[in-house]
Structure 1
Amino acid sequence: MKHYIGILLILFTIIAKGQTKKEIKQTLESIKSQEDFKKYKSQNSDSIIEFIELNTLNSGISKKLLGLKKGEIKKIKIENGNYYYKLIDSSKETEYRASYIYLNADELTKKEIDSIRPIIIKKYKSGVLFTDLVDEYNMDGNSKKGDLGWFKKGKLVPDFEKAVIEHNESDIFTVDVDNSDKYWMQNWYYVVLKTHKDRISEIRTYIRIKKQ
């Protein structure tokens, strides 16, 4: 599913055994950034430590986690054990959401694509559900009815992302990503529906160690 981009948890794991409470806190106190985490991980292959990014708009995040202040360390019980968490960063991000129909230039000529896309748009504007149009026309393996989920700037192909950002909720439009872009060696053609208003989310970055 090369066209489906999904996302918002980053998790790196290394294994830890038998650290005392004091040692765990000393380790967490020594790590103040992602760069510190990477350095520590590279030098301590026998430790368990995790780097996690969480979007506060996603459901299921512990209120205790949301209550942590930057630099604060707290023991929090999760279903599968006790963890020590430290909040190392928090930032605001604008997120976007859209659904798409991909038309494959390996199977269709550009002329055929240019004739199909107006038909799709006309059907949508006449009341056909976009999800039904995805079922009828989409030519990649996205199993979520073309839905990309929420994404922030820098996560998608630049031309596609730019078009989504510049449109408003409920806009339907076309996007061409061709091999004139030095970063991409494909010809990708889309009909895109911007399904939601842009939203501001808080991304909170934690490191954590499980108490063994």
Structure 2
Amino acid sequence: MKTLLKLTICLLTATTLAQTSIKKELDTITTVEQAEKLLETKKSRKNKVLIFNEEKHKTKLATALLNTNVGSIKTVKTEFNTTHYKVITKSDERHYRISYIYFDGNTLEASKIVDYKNDILKSYEDGIRFDDLAKRYSMDRNAKRGGDSGWLKEGSMPTEVEEQAFNLDNKLNTIYTVRIPETNSFYIILKTERIKTIKEIKVLKIVD
């Protein structure tokens, strides 16, 4: 009985010391670069730098972290392990949201793209929903979502697409087209949301 008690105490002491050591390491991390260097010493797929966005991530954990200050550490204990989350950076980033239909000119003839474009524009004017048209025509993998891009941070899509997404002359629920000669790509785009500033954080996750 005494041996078991001693063993239990030793295990608890070792665990406490390990967690204290990790927290001391986390206290020294103030930049993403430092976080990435720390991850090089802790090889595990569970350890990583995460990005949480107040529009995309609605879990209790994400909400709690988004509402804490830079430098804060949140520790979550389960039966199997202890996970530490440290908020490294917090920023307000411009985001946009569109729905689009994409055509790859490298696999589809230009004349066919023109025909499809005309069919799509006419169908939309006749009252056909854009998401139904995207599901039918788009060559992008988001066709199943009706072409919805979700909220995207600036730099997520080709420059030509984003220039039009941020163009205030393009009103909501209006269609415009973008052609990118360099990649032989063609987009039919519906502006679905106004430009929005969204809170975003980068978090270092370390699992004991």
Q: Which band: TM-score by shorter chain?
A: 0.7 to 0.9
- Range 37-46 or range 161-170, more displaced: 37-46
Residues 135 and 69 (structure 1), Cα distance of their counterparts in 2 relative to 1, 3 Å cut: closer
TM superposition shift of 1:75: 1.9
1:117 corresponds to:
117
Contact 1:96–1:164 (8 Å) recurs in 2: yes
1:45-85 CA-to-partner distances (Å, cap 9, x unmatched) read 47963211100223114343234211122323479753222
2:192 corresponds to:
195
SS of the counterpart of 2:206? strand
The code of the aligned residue for 1:87 comes to V
Partner Cα separation in structure 1 for residue 149 and residue 157 of structure 2: 10
TM-score between the two structures when normalised by the length of structure 1: 0.77
Partner Cα separation in structure 2 for residue 155 and residue 80 of structure 1: 37
Verify: 1:176 aligned to 2:173, yes or no.
Answer: no
1:162 corresponds to:
163
SS of the counterpart of 2:113? helix
Contact 2:178–2:186 (8 Å) recurs in 1: yes
Contact 1:94–1:152 (8 Å) recurs in 2: yes
Residues 34 and 107 (structure 1), Cα distance of their counterparts in 2 relative to 1, 3 Å cut: closer
TM superposition shift of 1:107: 4.5
1:60 corresponds to:
59
1:152 corresponds to:
153
Partner Cα separation in structure 1 for residue 136 and residue 101 of structure 2: 9
The code of the aligned residue for 1:146 comes to G
Which of 48, 51, 57 is equivalent to 1:50?
48
Contact 2:131–2:145 (8 Å) recurs in 1: no
1:65-115 CA-to-partner distances (Å, cap 9, x unmatched) read 234211122323479753222211100011111111123324543234234
Quick check: which has more Rg, 1 or 2?
2
Q: Percent identity?
A: 29
Contact 1:68–1:74 (8 Å) recurs in 2: no
* Displacement over 4 Å in runs of 4+: 77-81
- Range 66-75 or range 200-209, more displaced: 66-75
Verify: 1:72 aligned to 2:72, yes or no.
Answer: yes
Q: Which has the higher helix share?
A: 2
SS of the counterpart of 1:20? helix
SS of the counterpart of 2:176? strand
Aligned length: 189
RMSD of the TM alignment (CA)? 2.7
2:8 corresponds to:
none
TM superposition shift of 1:189: 1.0
Residues 79 and 130 (structure 1), Cα distance of their counterparts in 2 relative to 1, 3 Å cut: farther
The code of the aligned residue for 2:181 comes to D
Residues 80 and 200 (structure 1), Cα distance of their counterparts in 2 relative to 1, 3 Å cut: farther
Contact 2:52–2:66 (8 Å) recurs in 1: no
Which of 33, 36, 58 is equivalent to 2:34?
36
TM-score between the two structures when normalised by the length of structure 2: 0.78
